[in-house]
């Protein structure tokens, strides 16, 4: 598939799932129906470059993914989940008075609703944004990476404190316009998302200080700035306990101390 501009996540801020394809239709200028945009999946976070607070992640749109089969968000570090979706532009080329035009797309936002595993609603909202869909090339759709919030802080607050892992389902569709102002909307895609408190923290053997009277611990002297941090803290990637185990760590958890064994 043809590529488009990479999506870059800088610092620590903030699927083709089951092989599904979501389609939607919208009238074109000639009243023919167009398959405008597909949501292909949640892109797997790339390996960050740099370390500590300087880490940077570049999401390259690729029709082969890799994709997540489900998302994971750790509420000890963040109260919302904002992954990067891969979108495919299948807007049909049409002829203008002078030449054949292959439309590009501008994504303007996403409509999201979040439920628990039993289908009980937790939140419903629209997220404004800005994204670009490259034009298709021959039989290959144009691609675009688009970040949007699939679990809101309001949905997180309704869950309160809990133990273990809870399963949510986020339903999302994106909307926008073509280069000449025609509106489009994707179909609705559903993504399972696991939420937890502290489940993404890891305790590598190298983090334990054998000289400490408290065992096990996360007191090894290796500077946390030399540890590769995740693209977004608390989202989809493991967190080395040394990034948050002490008050001197750059990313102390806001809710409970989950960074000590």
In a domain, 29, yes or no: yes
Reduced to 3 states (helix: H, G, I; strand: E, B; else coil), residue 187 is coil
Between 94 and 39, residue with greater pLDDT: 39
The reported pLDDT for the residue numbered 179 is 75
Residue 224, sorted as left (phi over 0), alpha (psi -120 to 50) or beta, turns out to be: alpha
In a domain, 261, yes or no: no
Q: What is the pTM of this model?
A: 0.80
**Domain limits at 187?**
7-196
Contact (Cβ atoms closer than 8 angstroms) between residue 91 and residue 178: yes
In a domain, 201, yes or no: no
Distance CA 188, CA 163 (A): 30
Give the tens place of pLDDT for each residue, 187-232: 899 999 999 999 999 999 989 989 989 899 888 866 655 788 899 9
**What's the total number of domains in the chain?**
1
- 27-36, long-range: CB within 8 Å, 24+ apart, which pairs? 28/92, 28/94, 28/182, 29/94, 29/182, 30/94, 32/92, 34/90, 34/91, 34/92, 34/184, 35/90, 35/92, 36/89, 36/90, 36/91, 36/105, 36/184, 36/185, 36/186
Residue 218 placed within a domain: no
Model confidence at 136, pLDDT cuts 50, 70, 90, reads: confident
Please, what is the Cα angle at 186 between 176 and 72, to 5 degrees? 105
User: Quick check: is 44 in a domain?
Assistant: yes
């Amino acid at each position: 598939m043809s590529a488009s501009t990479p999506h870059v996540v800088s610092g620590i801020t903030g699927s083709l799932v089951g092989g599904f394809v979501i389609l939607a239709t919208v009238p074109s200028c000639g009243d023919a129906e167009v398959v405008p945009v597909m949501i292909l999946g949640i892109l797997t976070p790339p390996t960050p470059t740099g370390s500590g607070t300087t880490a940077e992640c570049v999401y390259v749109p690729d029709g082969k993914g890799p994709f997540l089969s489900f998302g994971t968000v750790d509420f000890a570090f963040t109260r919302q989940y904002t992954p990067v979706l891969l979108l495919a532009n299948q807007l049909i080329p049409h002829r203008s008075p002078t030449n054949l035009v292959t439309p590009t797309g501008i994504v303007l936002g996403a409509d999201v609703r979040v439920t628990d595993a039993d289908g009980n609603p937790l939140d419903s909202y629209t997220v404004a944004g800005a994204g670009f869909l490259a034009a298709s090339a021959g039989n290959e759709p144009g691609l675009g990476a688009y970040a949007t919030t699939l679990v809101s802080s309001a949905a997180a607050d309704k869950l309160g404190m809990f133990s273990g892992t809870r399963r949510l389902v986020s339903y999302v569709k994106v909307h926008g316009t073509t280069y000449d102002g025609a509106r489009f909307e994707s179909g609705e895609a559903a993504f399972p998302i696991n939420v937890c408190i502290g489940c993404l923290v890891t305790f590598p053997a190298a983090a334990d200080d054998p000289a400490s009277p408290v065992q096990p611990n996360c007191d090894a002297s290796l500077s946390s700035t030399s540890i590769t941090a995740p693209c977004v803290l608390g989202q989809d990637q493991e967190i080395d306990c040394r990034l948050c185990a002490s008050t001197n760590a750059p990313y102390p958890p806001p809710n409970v101390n989950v960074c000590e064994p």
